[in-house]
């Protein structure tokens, strides 16, 4: 591997999730929410991606980063 390829890999925030796709995009129709709270991963370390599994805590501790999930909250009627 070239040094450029190694540097690009080192800088990528997504180390392994759905790398066969050109761009990872997920969408949710908010009206479809059945639970009061759904957490979506933004650290790319979740074992249940696109949902947050709490892996950001370990990532933040190891790297000094400060990432956290996107929370979708069901609006009360
Ligand atoms: Fe990635 Fe929580 S596991 S934001």
Amino acid 75: pLDDT: 76
| Model confidence at 55: pLDDT above 80 | yes
Residues with CB under 6 A from ligand 1: 41-43, 45-46, 52-56, 67-69
Cα 8 to middle of ligand 1, angstroms: 22
Cα 77 to middle of ligand 1, angstroms: 28
Nearest to 74 by CA among 19, 29, 37: 37
Going by pLDDT thresholds of 50, 70 and 90, the confidence category of residue 19 is confident
ipTM > 0.95, yes or no = yes
Going by pLDDT thresholds of 50, 70 and 90, the confidence category of residue 14 is confident
The stretch 35-47 carries a mean pLDDT of 91
Q: Which two tokens stand for residue 51?
A: 């949902």
19 is catalytic: no
Q: Which atom of ligand 1 is nearest to the CA of 67?
A: 4
């Amino acid at each position: 591997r070239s040094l450029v390829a190694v540097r690009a890999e080192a800088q990528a925030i997504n180390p392994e999730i759905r790398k066969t796709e050109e761009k990872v995009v997920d969408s949710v129709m908010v009206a479809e929410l059945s639970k009061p709270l759904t957490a979506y991963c933004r650290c790319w370390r979740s074992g249940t991606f696109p949902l947050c599994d709490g892996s950001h805590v370990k990532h933040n501790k190891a790297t000094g980063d400060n990432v956290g999930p996107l929370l979708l909250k069901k609006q009360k009627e």
